[in-house]
Each structure stands twice: as structure tokens, then as C-alpha cells.
């Protein structure tokens, strides 16, 4: 007798029940697959978003706040870093490939407005703009690809969320360049010369005479880098690109022992943060939540295995009369056992395949929601963890399927 011919007939007669139970099993497993994929997706995407920020320099305080405010453009209260620190980042100038200040606080519509220098815009010549050019005058700007601006657009910055309500500065900026897509929150940011932000807030006289009105002549920017930095307003953070790992550690050790005087004479202690280390610290904060998700996934898998066992008993019970008839016709016990076991294992294998599809779909939906909120590009991918989990389910299911198969095989003919 052929087991597969029996299975074909079984599926024809009980396909509604068989595929219904398979779907329920697939849904339970899909939750576990989605949890595993989503956790990995969030971690990988978060790490990738920090790639262009090797070292962050800030006023001594919360490392996580510095990371979140700088890399992910979250609204964090960051104390200002005195500008002389920019020229005193390391005892060896050869340790630094480039460094740039970052100033936060204002907005361009719904986009974050960041004051910086041209070296950050083009990453010291290693990043080409998608359109246009970098800013060359104080009231020019370069927008992220998803910031909502095009070349030659003009805008008035505002204080925080008030920018969306029309509470704007009088200064007008013109978009002259568009950055390539990075898959990070910086795709929604607008970059302007930091001295323009200082001027807007009446903190720096070097650009106060420069107006945004059409027809006014603008001076070249960043001349302040060659002058006395001690009287300049501070920056929210500095981002530093070291030339090598040894240089990176020298920079950090140097800054951990360094303090600087703000323009008002206040002494500011500094910290230098490796983004990778700060991310590990941040992930540790959410370790409990990650453990809860993993426990939830484990419960889902356990429920799935229990459902697989129940599926076997249900299918065996529904076909008990037919199976007894086969025994009466001379079918050996091992054939009955093989028929029941194969039916259950087929349902489990199909459920696992369906779980990969459904779980990935759930992760894509979760990634879309997270990306819309954070600006971090999220795209799930299949990994060994999912396949290992499903392999355990298939093997465990094969063992558990022996229970209902053996129960039917041992049943009496009458």
C-alpha cells in the first residue's frame, strides 16, 4: 500500500479541516518568526544609522542622551560644547581625519534644522550630493532627501515645533543641495552653516550684518574657523572621524581629561563617546523588553507544538473509521502509523513555510511603522535564527506526531 495515495485521498476529503488547522499553526509560528526578525531588524538598522558617527564629543552627562540627540535627532537637552574644543581634540593632529560641530534646536517646517560645517555635509569629500552643491553662503541650506524640500525652495526656521505653527525667524534660507539617501533620521534634516544659527539668535556678530533679503551680498562662510574660537557660542556636539583605531582611543583619552571654558567663563567638562559602545549601553537598557519578546516567541512556539499535537489527534479521530477499515482489509499497523504521522508532519512543514511568509510580512509592516516614526530605514531579512527555530518545530513535531499515530495504530479493529 502507498502512503502518499492515502494522503492524497485524505486531503481531498478533509482539506478544509487540514488546511484550517495548518493555517492556525502557521499564524502561531508567524508571531515567533516576526518577533525574531523585528528584533534583529531594529538592532541592525539602528547600528547602521550610526555608521557615519565614529566619535561624539559632548558636555559631560548622559551618553545615551548624546547618542539619541545626535545620531537619531531626538529632542534631548544637551549642554553646549565650547568651540575651542574643536581645535583641541587630540594631542596629535594626525589622529583626526575631520571634525565638525553640530547645533540643534530649530526646525525647518517639520524637518530638524542642524547647524554644521561643509566638511560634515560632504564627509570631507567622500559623499557626493544627490543634487546641487553644498552651502557656500550663510543663508544657504542642504536638505535631506526626505526633508520635504527641493532645490531653490526657501524657508523660515522656527523654534522647535513652533516652526510648524508659523512662529518663524525673520531670516530666510534657500535650498542649494540635496543629500543622498542614507536610511537614517538625517534624511529628514536640513543642514545650514552653524554661524547662521548663531546669527539668528543674536549670538555671533560675524554674520549679523548678513541678511537674507534678495540682492544683499553675502560673505564667504566658515572664516571663524581661522580665528579665536573662545568667544564663539558653543555647539550641541562635535562629531569626529579618526584616522585609525589608535587615534580614536587617543582622542577619547585626551578629551576625558579635558575641560573647556564657555564664553561666560563657565568650565565645561567633556566626554568622548564611541557610538558602538553607547549603542551597547542603550541596548542593555532595553534588554528586559527584548527578553520579554523572546519569552513571548518561545511561548508561541510551545503553543504551536501543542497545536500540532492536537492537530494529529483531531485528524486521526476524524479518520478513525477509515483507518480501521484499512486494518480490516489487511493494512499493517505500521502503514496506519505512517499515514497518520505523515499527515501531521505535512501540516507542520506547510505551517512552517507559511510562517516564514506571514512572519516576514508582519516584520515588514512593523518596519514601516517604526521607520515612519524614527526615520530609520527598516527592512527585515531571513536569518539562521528563524530557520533554526522552525527546524526545532519540525523535528519536535515529528516526535510528537508519533503519539497520535501510535494511538490509532494500537486501536482495536472492533
Give domain status of residue 391, yes or no.
yes
Q: How far apart are CA 307 and CA 400, in angstroms?
A: 11
216 and 342, same domain (yes or no) = no
101 and 119, same domain (yes or no) = yes
211 and 353, same domain (yes or no) = no
274 and 306, same domain (yes or no) = no
Question: What pLDDT, on the 0 to 100 scale, is given for residue 274?
Answer: 94
> Which tens digits make up the pLDDT trace of 166-193?
456 678 899 999 999 999 999 999 999 9
26 and 38, same domain (yes or no) = yes
Give domain status of residue 114, yes or no.
yes
Do residues 152 and 174 make contact, with C-beta atoms less than 8 angstroms apart? yes
Q: How far apart are CA 344 and CA 406, in angstroms?
A: 12
Residue 162 — very low, low, confident or very high, per pLDDT cuts 50/70/90? very low
Give domain status of residue 145, yes or no.
yes
Question: What pLDDT, on the 0 to 100 scale, is given for residue 393?
Answer: 87
Tell me the whole-structure pTM to 2 decimals. 0.80
Q: pLDDT at residue 330 above 50?
A: yes
Q: pLDDT at residue 339 above 90?
A: no
More confident residue, 309 or 135: 135
111 and 215, same domain (yes or no) = yes
Q: pLDDT at residue 377 above 70?
A: yes
Question: What pLDDT, on the 0 to 100 scale, is given for residue 348?
Answer: 87
More confident residue, 136 or 405: 136
Work out the percent of the chain whose per-residue pLDDT is above 70: 83
Out of 285, 310, 330, a domain closes at 285
More confident residue, 267 or 287: 267
> Which tens digits make up the pLDDT trace of 188-235?
999 999 999 988 877 654 443 444 444 444 456 888 888 888 889 899
Out of 259, 285, 311, a domain closes at 285
Question: What pLDDT, on the 0 to 100 scale, is given for residue 212?
Answer: 42
> Which tens digits make up the pLDDT trace of 33-46?
998 899 899 999 99
More confident residue, 247 or 170: 247
Give domain status of residue 93, yes or no.
yes
Q: pLDDT at residue 314 above 80?
A: no
Residue 58 — very low, low, confident or very high, per pLDDT cuts 50/70/90? very high
Question: What pLDDT, on the 0 to 100 scale, is given for residue 410?
Answer: 62
Strand partners, 239: 56, 100
Average pLDDT, the chain: 84
What does DSSP assign to residue 220? P
Give domain status of residue 102, yes or no.
yes
Q: How far apart are the first and last CA of the chain?
A: 22
Where does 199-320 show beta strands of DSSP type E? 237-242, 259-261, 267-274
331 and 397, same domain (yes or no) = yes
Question: What pLDDT, on the 0 to 100 scale, is given for residue 222?
Answer: 86
Angle at 231 between CA 198 and CA 253, to 5 degrees: 100
111 and 206, same domain (yes or no) = yes
Give domain status of residue 303, yes or no.
yes
For residue 365 the three cell numbers come to 509592516
Question: What pLDDT, on the 0 to 100 scale, is given for residue 331?
Answer: 66
Residue 334 — very low, low, confident or very high, per pLDDT cuts 50/70/90? confident
Q: How far apart are CA 274 and CA 55, in angstroms?
A: 5
> Which tens digits make up the pLDDT trace of 388-404?
989 988 888 888 878 87
Report the helix count and the strand count for the chain, using DSSP H and E: 11, 13
> Which tens digits make up the pLDDT trace of 401-413?
788 777 766 655 4
Distance of CA 249 to the CA centre of its chain: 27
236 and 334, same domain (yes or no) = no
Out of 236, 255, 285, a domain closes at 285
Total domains in the chain come to 2
Q: How far apart are CA 265 and CA 211, in angstroms?
A: 30
Question: What pLDDT, on the 0 to 100 scale, is given for residue 231?
Answer: 86
* Nearest partner of 366 among 295, 304, 302, 293, judged by Cα: 293
Q: How far apart are CA 191 and CA 202, in angstroms?
A: 19
Placement of cell 581645535 in the chain: 87
Do residues 172 and 155 make contact, with C-beta atoms less than 8 angstroms apart? yes
Q: pLDDT at residue 4 above 70?
A: no
Long-range contacts of 84-87 (CB under 8 A, 24+ apart): 84/229, 84/230, 84/260, 84/261, 85/57, 85/238, 85/255, 85/258, 85/260, 85/270, 86/225, 86/229, 86/235, 86/238, 87/229
Domain that holds residue 134: 51-285
Question: What pLDDT, on the 0 to 100 scale, is given for residue 85?
Answer: 94
33 and 59, same domain (yes or no) = no
Give domain status of residue 98, yes or no.
yes
Q: How far apart are CA 265 and CA 343, in angstroms?
A: 80
334 and 212, same domain (yes or no) = no
36 and 57, same domain (yes or no) = no
Give domain status of residue 414, yes or no.
no
Q: What value does the mean pLDDT take over residues 87-91?
A: 88
| Lowest mean per-residue pLDDT among 250-259, 297-306, 312-321 | 312-321
| Lowest mean per-residue pLDDT among 41-55, 88-102, 271-285, 307-321 | 307-321
Distance of CA 410 to the CA centre of its chain: 54
Amino acid at each position: 500500500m502507498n502512503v502518499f495515495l492515502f494522503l492524497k485521498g485524505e486531503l481531498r476529503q478533509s482539506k478544509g479541516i487540514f488546511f484550517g488547522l495548518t493555517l492556525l499553526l502557521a499564524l502561531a509560528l508567524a508571531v515567533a518568526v516576526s518577533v525574531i526578525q523585528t528584533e534583529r531588524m531594529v538592532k541592525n538598522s539602528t547600528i547602521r544609522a550610526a555608521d557615519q558617527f565614529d566619535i561624539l564629543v559632548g558636555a559631560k552627562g548622559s551618553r545615551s542622551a548624546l547618542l539619541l540627540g545626535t545620531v537619531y535627532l531626538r529632542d534631548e537637552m544637551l549642554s553646549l560644547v565650547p568651540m575651542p574644543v574643536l581645535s583641541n581634540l587630540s594631542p596629535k593632529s594626525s589622529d583626526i581625519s575631520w571634525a565638525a560641530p553640530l547645533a540643534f534646536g530649530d526646525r525647518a517646517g517639520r524637518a530638524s534644522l542642524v547647524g554644521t560645517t561643509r566638511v560634515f555635509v560632504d564627509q570631507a569629500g567622500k559623499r557626493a550630493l544627490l543634487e546641487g552643491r553644498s552651502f557656500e553662503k550663510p543663508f544657504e541650506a542642504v536638505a535631506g532627501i526626505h526633508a520635504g524640500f527641493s532645490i531653490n525652495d526657501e524657508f523660515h526656521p522656527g523654534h522647535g515645533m513652533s516652526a510648524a505653527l508659523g512662529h518663524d525667524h525673520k531670516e530666510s534660507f534657500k535650498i542649494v543641495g540635496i543629500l543622498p539617501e542614507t536610511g537614517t533620521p538625517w534624511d529628514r534634516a536640513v543642514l545650514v552653516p552653524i554661524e547662521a544659527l548663531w546669527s539668528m539668535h543674536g549670538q555671533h556678530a560675524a554674520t549679523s550684518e548678513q541678511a537674507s533679503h534678495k540682492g544683499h551680498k553675502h560673505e564667504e562662510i566658515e572664516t571663524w574657523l581661522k580665528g579665536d574660537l573662545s568667544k564663539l557660542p558653543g555647539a550641541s556636539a562635535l562629531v569626529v572621524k579618526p584616522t585609525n583605531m589608535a587615534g580614536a582611543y587617543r582622542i577619547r583619552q585626551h578629551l576625558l581629561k579635558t575641560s573647556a571654558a564657555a564664553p561666560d567663563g563657565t568650565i565645561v567638562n567633556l566626554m568622548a563617546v564611541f557610538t558602538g559602545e553607547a549603542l551597547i549601553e542603550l541596548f542593555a537598557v532595553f534588554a528586559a523588553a527584548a527578553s520579554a519578546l523572546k519569552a513571548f516567541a518561545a511561548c508561541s512556539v510551545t503553543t504551536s507544538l501543542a497545536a500540532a499535537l492536537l492537530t494529529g489527534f483531531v485528524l486521526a479521530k476524524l479518520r478513525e473509521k477509515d483507518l480501521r477499515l484499512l486494518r480490516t482489509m489487511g493494512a499493517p499497523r505500521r502503514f496506519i502509523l505512517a499515514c497518520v504521522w505523515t499527515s501531521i508532519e505535512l501540516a507542520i512543514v506547510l505551517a512552517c513555510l507559511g510562517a516564514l511568509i506571514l512572519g516576514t510580512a508582519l516584520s515588514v509592516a512593523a518596519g514601516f511603522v517604526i521607520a515612519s516614526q524614527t526615520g530609520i530605514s527598516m527592512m527585515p531579512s531571513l536569518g539562521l535564527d528563524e530557520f533554526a527555530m522552525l527546524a526545532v518545530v519540525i523535528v519536535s513535531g515529528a516526535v510528537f506526531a508519533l503519539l497520535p499515530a501510535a494511538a490509532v495504530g494500537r486501536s482495536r479493529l472492533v
